[in-house]
Structure 1
Amino acid sequence: MAVSPYFRSPFTDLTGGLVSHQLLGKCQKEEIRYMDCLEAYGLDRGKVKCQHLFGDFHECQTMTLQFKRFMAMRKERERQIAEGKLKGDAKWVSPTADSY
């Protein structure tokens, strides 16, 4: 038997923001979309129907894809340095601000 995502009481109303990302969290939007989807479908069906929203929320929390991109860029820079394509100060030049 599963417990519903929200158990409402005056205590949870007062302290609910402490265990979520809704108070100054960077993942506010992803979390509320996921919780709204779970509320619409229920916990059991929601786990299947809302999987894509959970994936977005999980990525926002853990930043694993961002870290993998960072490691790939670092590996490419080290490869170019080893091949001699980047020399001297060009090895450590940061990208321009508008290159993202």
Structure 2
Amino acid sequence: MSLGPFFRLPFTDLTGCMVNHQHYSRCAGFEMKMMDCLEAYGVERGKEKCKTLIEDFKECALRTKQKLRIREMRLERHRQYFAGERPREELYAKPPTDDSF
């Protein structure tokens, strides 16, 4: 994850704030804490000092642990099905009816 632009130009200063997570309520708090910490320590020193905040923000934005957990559950369901421990009807839950939303 890049924390700063490769080339520092006036154009990068104008467009640097255009891509952020402040419009998404889920990661906005993590991003603000991370950016406040990086602003306090600077980018280079902040990579060490703010490591936990950066990791929390990355996890919130990329959802790597959540995707791995979903993958493991799916693989376990399929393993149980192929081993004969689970019938095909119980492989996945039934979807909600059309008028339930």
Listed one character per residue, the Cα deviations across residues 1-21 of structure 1 (whole Å, up to 9, x for unaligned) are xxx89xxxxxxxx97653211
Confirm whether residue 56 of structure 1 aligns to residue 62 of structure 2.
Answer: no
Higher relative contact order, chain-length normalized (CA < 8 Å, sep 6+): 1
Letter of the 2:46 partner, please give it.
G
What's the C-alpha RMSD, in Å, of the aligned pairs? 2.7
Letter of the 2:52 partner, please give it.
H
Alignment of 1:10-49 (within 5 A): 18-49=18-49
Quote the sequence identity (%). 45
- In the alignment, structure 1 segments of 5+ residues that lack a partner are 6-13, 95-100
Listed one character per residue, the Cα deviations across residues 18-77 of structure 1 (whole Å, up to 9, x for unaligned) are 321113453101100101111222222111010111111111111111111111000100
SS state at 2:91 partner: helix
Alignment correspondent of 1:87 = 87
Counterparts of 2:52 and 2:18, CA distance in 1: 25
Q: Please tell me whether the aligned partners of residues 22 and 28 of structure 1 are also in contact (alpha carbons under 8 angstroms).
A: yes
